[in-house]
Amino acid sequence: MDVLMPQLGETVAEGKITQWFKSAGDAIKPGDNLFEIETDKVSMEVPSTTAGVLAEIRVPAGEVAPVGAVVAVIADGAAASAAPAAETPSKPAPSSAAPAARPAPVAAPIAAAQPAMAAPIKLDPFFEVRTPQRNYGPARLAGGRSATPLARRLAAEGGIDLAAVSASGPHGRIVARDVEAAARAAPKAAPGVALATGPSAEEVKALYRDVPFQEVPLDGMRRIIATRLVQAKQTIPHFYLTADVEIGRLITLREEANAAAPKDGDGKVAFKLSLNDLIIKAWGAALQRVPAANAVWAQDRILRFQHCDIGVAVAIEGGLIAPVIRRAEMKALSVISNEMKELAARARARKLTPDEYQGGSSAISNLGMYGVREFSAVINPPQATMLAVGAARRQAVETEDGGVAFASVLAVTLSCDHRVVDGALGAELLAAFKSFIERPVTMLV
């Protein structure tokens, strides 16, 4: 029985096995953890759903395999006792019998279902975008070699001859990074928007030949973040709107709510609101007030949503991820606060599930805790807006009677996709947010 590399999210094309919990020859029971995998977003343990003996490990720890690849084989007890268990190879050996496309999950203990009518496009770290399935050429190449579906798509779109591409995937399979390396070595015109690649690594290193430096290889997360940000800046017509928002009443509301928070028998409070929790609530309320901006770009159309699912950027080791607060406009502040704390903790532990970070109609990035006064965020496609929140500061403001007083002020910058949100619509959205922040009781009724 084949054990397959599962798919953790529609935009995930491959995973890295970080460790095996079982060795070849070990008995397996349903629920036993077989191995741990790491993708560009999460890491998780993969259990077996069948009993037997681990007859063979085909992808050892430290190696990367595409989704759907056979990483191990489980035999039943009788079959395993008839032949010695296979040893774990130091590296996956090339095999002409390697499947070219994702194997059918017939009686397989691990298999991720994927719709046959659509294929994922790797556009950004967080969201799923689909396109009609196309035929990008044969999966099996001359000489018995094979290529993953993603590698074939990239080759077709970039005009790359797969026969001339060196393979680095398991069992001699051509994977996406092989096609990308071939494109960098011999750039060709590609349909659509051509993404700038910049100077090669050797060209950059040549500039610093007399300067000591350390080379830091890109992991999966950093590589994908780099690709997505380049695509976002080259394909999304960004424009930016900045406003100063007084947060005196918001601070008062937070202090009063925290002081009134109920406690359990051990003295533990039910919730503790942060300013970011109130900003999430206000942003959901603003998107509800301006529904035309609660939308995403979908190539030949715009999708507008009834509810406001807000992604919140969380810094993790090696990059960032944006877990989503679903229906933020409908949730109590205490619910948002506790949910955000749990999601942030699981994000830093790389334990989020795909449904917890995919989707979202807009997003928030808050760097105020680092003392950043003001910044502009890059939109996560296919979203059309992203709110950047800076640090609060005390400054002099004019009062209604012409006097001067000091107030706590927050600078926020709204990034807009001009294909979805025009200038006036973006200004209306930012004004709605400012209104809720400066009169926070209005977002609670």
Give, as one character, the DSSP assignment of residue 143: G
Which residues are within 8 A (CB) of 20 and not within 5 positions of it... i.e. 6 or more apart?
34, 35, 57, 60, 61, 88
CB atoms within 10 A of CB 23: 11
Residue owning tokens 């975008």: 129
Q: How far is CA 343 from the centre of its chain?
A: 14
CB atoms within 10 A of CB 50: 16
Q: How far is CA 79 from the centre of its chain?
A: 42
Does residue 418 have an active-site annotation? yes
Q: H or E stretch including 92?
A: none
User: Could you give the count of Cα atoms lying within 13 Å of 17 in the half-sphere of its Cβ?
Assistant: 29
Catalytic pick from 171, 238, 307, 418?
Answer: 418
User: First CA to last CA across the chain, in angstroms?
Assistant: 57
Determine the Cα–Cα distance for residues 346 and 353; give it in Å rounded to an integer. Answer: 9
Determine the Cα–Cα distance for residues 93 and 363; give it in Å rounded to an integer. Answer: 44
Q: Under a CB-based contact definition with an 8 Å cutoff, are residues 363 and 311 in contact?
A: yes
DSSP secondary structure letters along 162-223? GGGPPP-SGGGEE-HHHHHHHHHHS----SSPPPP--S-HHHHHHHTTTS--------HHHH
Determine the Cα–Cα distance for residues 375 and 387; give it in Å rounded to an integer. Answer: 10
Determine the Cα–Cα distance for residues 5 and 17; give it in Å rounded to an integer. Answer: 9
Tell which residue, 3, 37, 166, 183, has the closest CA to residue 94: 166
CB atoms within 10 A of CB 243: 15
Residues annotated as part of the active site: 418
